[in-house]
Amino acid sequence: MELVTIRTKGDIMQDVSLAAIGGKGLFIKEIEEALLRGDVDMAVHSMKDVPAELPEELEIAVTPLREDPRDVLISRGDRKLEEMPHGARIGTGSLRRAFQLRNRMPDLKIVPLRGNLDTRIRKLETEGLDGVILAAAGIRRMGWALRVSQFIPVELMLPAVGQGVIGIETRRDDARCREVVAFLNDPVTFCEVGAERGFLKRLGGGCQLPIAAFAKKNGGEIAVTGLVGSLDGRTMISHRVTGPATEFAKLGENLAEHILEQGGRALLDAVY
């Protein structure tokens, strides 16, 4: 087996917001092109970077066990969000995180942030930030959990679609590759991320509006929570549905339909 490293436009252009340069799909475009050409046989992605629509010839074949889906706060003085002073400066490059912070704590100042984990944490000092919001999964994988000031509950900050999940993408007609990696698949994670992606696909949303979703399977049922927000942080439309886990994608779509009917469509139309 040969490992092939591909640097994408999303990896290279770290001084510009994702919304300005085309969204999270920029993290996988060149990789999918290599997969379609046959230069590589499978691709490994962070699922929160994978657009709702995939090329027809490709599929996400495997999702291993999900890491921690939450967001975390790393702060100066080890403060939690509720302990932040008025006007505290919080760094994040995510519309989703910025929206939920503005909606719940409008006195905070949001500072745009991009770069790798080291770079973003270092900006606590170099840019005088009071805190930075990051994905728990990345922090745990780096072994930096002790640096975390707060693991933010999903009830306070709903995660991105697919957050904490690694996906393995293959060509649909390549049964051999699917068989090789099938043992890595976690069926619960596959179900949960499938529900979240069903929600995202029905919305047709990308990186231009705050969109979040989180699914949790419990026995034969699955609960899916989603939200769409306005860019100014003032309008949040959220809802939760539950149903048979066997219908995970349909439940995600039904959740999106409800949010669209409750005002989400107007928010999306205003941007797109």
Query: Which residues are tagged catalytic?
Result: 49
Rounded-to-integer distance, Cα 204 and Cα 234, Å: 22
Question: Could you report how far apart the first and last alpha carbons of the chain are, in Å?
Answer: 43
Residues 6+ apart with CB under 8 A from 176: none
Cβ neighbour number for residue 14 with a 10 Å cutoff: 12
- C-alpha angle 57/195/50, rounded to 5°? 45
Of 231, 193, 204, the residue nearest 66 (C-alpha): 193
> Look-up: residue for tokens 């693991």?
151
Phi and psi at 250, nearest 5°, equal: -65, -40
